[in-house]
């Protein structure tokens, strides 16, 4: 993902920071016509916002926090903006059709969460599919020779440009976990129907995981575990 542009909000959709349209095409993606929908179709003259200034307030290990001064509807306002380099996630499917999930502690929530394997890019220009291959093996102890594109999501559109590409992994090959010193991840196998019940009951709150499981269910339900 490119760094935030200073020239304004009005670049074409594919060039906007945080746009969920992948920069490269993946196997399994729909055509351009199907991808260019709704907010991706916004034109320059339709955006009633002009950025006057952008000031870096904080730079962390995975994000930068800015304060934007914008003019909107004739008024000047201060908007917070967080830049994230992006991430990749994987819906990992076993031979039996179960999904590999990871349970890990999340400091921001101060509790453990159930998620699909995922991780941030190692560097801003890293291809997200490469990140997905790496994170799958590091977190689950399984690897694959093939990833199929599932969807792209923007996780927090009000103030953060984080974009995640999600892939499906089948034909899993046993390997071993490669966890960071500060990671504690438990790998669990789940039936798709049980995960859907958790979502329906409001017991799964991680946005990328909810979106990915629902997208997987819509696209693959009833097709079985084999790669199509």
Confidence of residue 40 (pLDDT cuts 50, 70, 90): low
Residue that wins the pLDDT comparison between 39 and 103: 103
What's the pLDDT score for residue 184? 87
Q: Where in the chain is the domain with CATH 3.90.79.10?
A: 87-220
Q: Name the CATH superfamily housing domain 87-220.
A: Nucleoside Triphosphate Pyrophosphohydrolase (3.90.79.10)
> Is the model's pLDDT at 15 over the cut of 70?
no
> Is the model's pLDDT at 42 over the cut of 90?
no
Q: Which of 5-19, 78-92, 167-181 has the lowest mean pLDDT?
A: 5-19
> Is the model's pLDDT at 228 over the cut of 80?
no
- The tens digit of pLDDT for each residue in 117-174 reads 999 999 999 999 999 999 999 999 999 999 999 999 999 999 999 999 999 999 999 9
If DSSP states are collapsed to H, E and C, what string results for the chain?
A: CCCCCCCCCCCCHHHCCCCCCCCCCCCCCCCHHHHCCHHHHCCHHHCCEEEEEEEEEEECCCEEEEEEEEEECCEEEEEEEEEECCEEEEEEECCCCCEEEEEEEECCCCEEEEECCEEECCCCCCCHHHHHHHHHHHHHCEECCCEEEEEEEECCCCCECCEEEEEEECCCEECCCCCCCCCCEEEEEECHHHHHHHHHCCCCCCHHHHHHHHHHHHHHCCCCCCCC
What's the pLDDT score for residue 169? 98
- The tens digit of pLDDT for each residue in 192-212 reads 999 999 999 999 999 999 999
- The tens digit of pLDDT for each residue in 50-90 reads 999 999 999 999 999 999 999 998 899 999 999 999 999 99
Q: What would you measure as the largest C-alpha separation in the chain, in angstroms?
A: 59
Q: How many CB atoms lie within 10 A of CB 168?
A: 25
Confidence of residue 183 (pLDDT cuts 50, 70, 90): confident
What's the pLDDT score for residue 39? 56
């Amino acid at each position: 993902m490119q760094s935030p542009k200073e020239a304004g909000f009005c670049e074409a959709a594919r060039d906007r920071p945080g746009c969920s349209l992948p920069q490269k095409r993946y196997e399994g993606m729909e055509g351009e016509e199907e991808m260019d929908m709704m907010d991706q179709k916004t034109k320059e003259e339709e955006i009633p916002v002009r950025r006057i200034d952008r000031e870096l307030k904080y730079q962390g290990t995975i994000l930068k926090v800015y304060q934007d001064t914008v003019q909107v509807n004739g008024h000047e306002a201060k908007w917070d903006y967080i830049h994230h380099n992006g991430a990749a996630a994987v819906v990992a499917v076993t031979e039996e059709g179960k999904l590999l999930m990871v349970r890990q502690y999340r400091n921001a929530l101060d509790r453990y969460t159930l998620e699909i394997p995922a991780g941030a890019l190692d560097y801003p220009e890293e291809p997200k599919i490469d990140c997905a291959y790496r994170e799958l093996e590091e977190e689950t102890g399984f690897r694959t020779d093939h990833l199929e594109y599932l969807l792209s999501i923007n996780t927090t559109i009000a103030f953060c440009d984080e974009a995640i590409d999600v892939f499906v992994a089948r034909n899993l090959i046993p390997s071993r976990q490669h966890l960071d010193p500060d990671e504690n991840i438990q790998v669990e196998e789940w039936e798709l129907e049980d995960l859907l019940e958790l979502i329906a009951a409001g017991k799964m709150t991680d946005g990328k995981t909810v979106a990915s499981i629902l997208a997987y269910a819509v696209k693959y339900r009833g097709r079985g575990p084999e790669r199509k």
